[in-house]
Amino acid sequence: MSMPILVLGAGGHAKVLIDALLTTSEVIAGVVDSDPALTGTTVLGVPVLGGDDVVGEFPPSEIMLVNGLGSVGLPVRRQLIFEKFKGIGYNFATVVHPSSVVADDTVLGEGAQVMAGVVIQPGSRIGCNAIINTSASVDHDCIIGDHTHIAPGVTLSGGVKVGTGSHIGTGATVIQGIVIGEQSLVAAGAVVVFDVAGKATVKGIPARVVLK
């Protein structure tokens, strides 16, 4: 990356991102977080400079942002933060941990995050602001929508499509060719063998709709 990085958020996901950035010797200007109690503290040695208003002290031409907000459920807040700062001219850095294996033809959208131990096979597309979290496996020709979170240990077989703003929970498995709609939630440990409609919540083995 050619410019220094400012990390949005000082929580657990931000810490993991900072570790990845430090591993690749990126220059991190600081961290911002809305909790005033964190101002003046550090995350892995990187200073917390203040709240979101601090971002405005850095012109968009001189800084790249990294979205450090994670998500347990649907990644709505994460999406709003991304859209807020894009709307005023900032760009987001794509983060790829050096221990991940990403096929050369993979398309990574702006601000996509590929964490440690991830495998992404050929023909796949990862949307803007999406997270492919620790040790997830994305097989050939998968399409992951913008703002979607593929949680740690998820297995996506070939040709899976996951819509915008969805969350695939920790350790879930999705068989080949499945389509998961926008803003859908797949519970941790679920095994998805049928398509999932948009705005649905599924869980279990096999995964069944519990809320739509």
Strand order in the sheet with 149-150: 95-96, 113-114, 131-132, 149-150, 167-168, 185-186, 201-203, 208-211
* Burial label, 119 (beta-carbon count in 10 A; 0-12, 13-18, 19+): middle
3-class secondary structure, 6: strand
Report the half-sphere exposure of 203 (CA within 13 A, side-chain side): 7
| Active-site choice (140, 147, 149, 167) | 140
97 is catalytic: no
Catalytic residues: 140
